[in-house]
Copies of this chain bind each other. A is one copy, B any other.
């Protein structure tokens, strides 16, 4: 920061590296193996946060050397310009991650588990997600927050697919409230809506596929898929969320409905489709300061460390235990109304332990059991003829500055 406070510059870090693997993940007879590594490693996030401020203007550029599946590529988390001249308000333009719900508003260094629930990841990537071109803003008060963004393409969309001749437009809306607050209790209520007015038009037309791995970021084959949905006119999603903190205990849950409208201009128009997903997560802070509510982002944040880890003085940092049930159903009508594809369903049970020796370091250990229904069409058909289930155990090392 400069002496007159007009200027500041900072460099921050979020480093997350994962090691773990899959046990008992098949294949069943007649299925091909799929990529379920017994023991492997992945750089999940290696973000360098560069921030320049001049008076009310803030520029952020954040390269990311990590990957949500297999590391080795370099990308961008965000690059945007912000105006903070209005009270409790941030106006943003540029590549950004518009926050549509509590799980997106939590910073990725603060998650209870390695990954967000699948349904949240699928919905946020419709018109939001990492490095989405956004124009909009967020306003918060102590008891509520509202955010809205007009959005375009993601950074790199058109270099990954050079046949895109018409780019996506969309929007993300969030309202969040905190109707009851006391020393021991935080009640949180939220509502989210997002839409892609149109999706990218490439040489394959306006096609969209919902697909995700099993909430484990080790590059495994994505078994869950809606199939490649063709002639997509519009996609939208909306849903409520609820959270309750009672002393050291935090309960969260969210439901999303996803609607896919098709282009009805053809002679044999494809039907509209509806998908659903939800999660319920419970968290208990065994020692350390429990997860608390941050009004500025309308989200619960990471446990606090009161005294840094120091066994000689009986200081142990913070430790929290979490459990989650997450269901995503991408199956609607048979063959999704067309031919050659289908959708399927995924259920994930997850348990996790997070230890914070101090405010900058975190070690995570997650166990997951997943169950995925079979695929009768599409690219992952051969890997998932009979439905698959399995287990994963993954540890994460995290440093944030």
A residues near B (Cβ < 8 Å) are 9, 11, 13, 15, 17, 19, 33-43, 46, 48, 50, 52, 54-55, 57, 59, 61, 63, 65, 67, 70-76, 79-81, 93-95, 133, 152-153, 155-160, 162, 164-167, 169, 219, 308, 357-361, 397, 399, 401
Given contacts A41-B153, A152-B41, whether A52 and B94 have CB atoms under 8 Å apart is no
Partner of A11, one of B50, B57, B94, B361: B50
User: In the complex, which residue of chain B has the Cβ closest to the Cβ of A65?
Assistant: B76
Partner of A57, one of B9, B46, B167, B358: B358
CB atoms of B93 and A158 under 8 A apart: no
User: In the complex, which residue of chain B has the Cβ closest to the Cβ of A10?
Assistant: B9
Partner of A165, one of B37, B71, B160, B166: B37
A61 proximity list for chain B (CB < 8 A): 13, 15, 46, 48, 65
A158 to B18 alpha-carbon distance, docked (Å): 14
Extra contacts, 7 of them, besides A13-B61, A55-B308, A57-B399 (Cβ < 8 A), are: A37-B164, A37-B165, A39-B167, A40-B153, A40-B158, A46-B79, A71-B158
Of all A-B residue pairs in the complex, the 4 with the closest CB atoms, nearest first, are A72-B156, A72-B159, A59-B399, A40-B167
CB atoms of A13 and B50 under 8 A apart: yes
Given contacts A9-B11, A41-B133, A61-B65, whether A160 and B17 have CB atoms under 8 Å apart is no
CB atoms of B153 and A55 under 8 A apart: no
CB atoms of A74 and B71 under 8 A apart: no
CB atoms of A43 and B73 under 8 A apart: no
A11 to B167 alpha-carbon distance, docked (Å): 34
A245 to B158 alpha-carbon distance, docked (Å): 41
CB atoms of A70 and B158 under 8 A apart: yes
Given contacts A152-B41, A165-B35, A401-B54, whether A79 and B67 have CB atoms under 8 Å apart is no
A17 to B37 alpha-carbon distance, docked (Å): 38
CB atoms of B72 and A74 under 8 A apart: no
A50 to B9 alpha-carbon distance, docked (Å): 13
User: In the complex, which residue of chain B has the Cβ closest to the Cβ of A46?
Assistant: B79
CB atoms of A39 and B358 under 8 A apart: no
A397 to B34 alpha-carbon distance, docked (Å): 44
A57 to B166 alpha-carbon distance, docked (Å): 48
A169 proximity list for chain B (CB < 8 A): 39
A67 proximity list for chain B (CB < 8 A): 159
CB atoms of B401 and A9 under 8 A apart: yes
A354 to B15 alpha-carbon distance, docked (Å): 37
User: In the complex, which residue of chain B has the Cβ closest to the Cβ of A308?
Assistant: B55
CB atoms of B157 and A397 under 8 A apart: no
A399 to B160 alpha-carbon distance, docked (Å): 26
**Interface-centre pick from A38, A54, A158, A357 (highest chain B CB count, 10 A):** A158
A39 proximity list for chain B (CB < 8 A): 152, 167, 169
User: In the complex, which residue of chain B has the Cβ closest to the Cβ of A165?
Assistant: B35
A360 proximity list for chain B (CB < 8 A): 52, 54, 57, 59
| Whole-angstrom distance between the Cβ of A200 and the nearest chain B Cβ | 9
User: In the complex, which residue of chain B has the Cβ closest to the Cβ of A200?
Assistant: B40
CB atoms of A95 and B358 under 8 A apart: no
A35 to B167 alpha-carbon distance, docked (Å): 11
Q: List 16 A-B contacts (CB under 8 A).
A: A9-B11, A9-B401, A11-B11, A13-B50, A13-B52, A15-B94, A33-B165, A35-B162, A39-B167, A52-B399, A57-B360, A57-B361, A59-B401, A65-B79, A71-B156, A72-B155
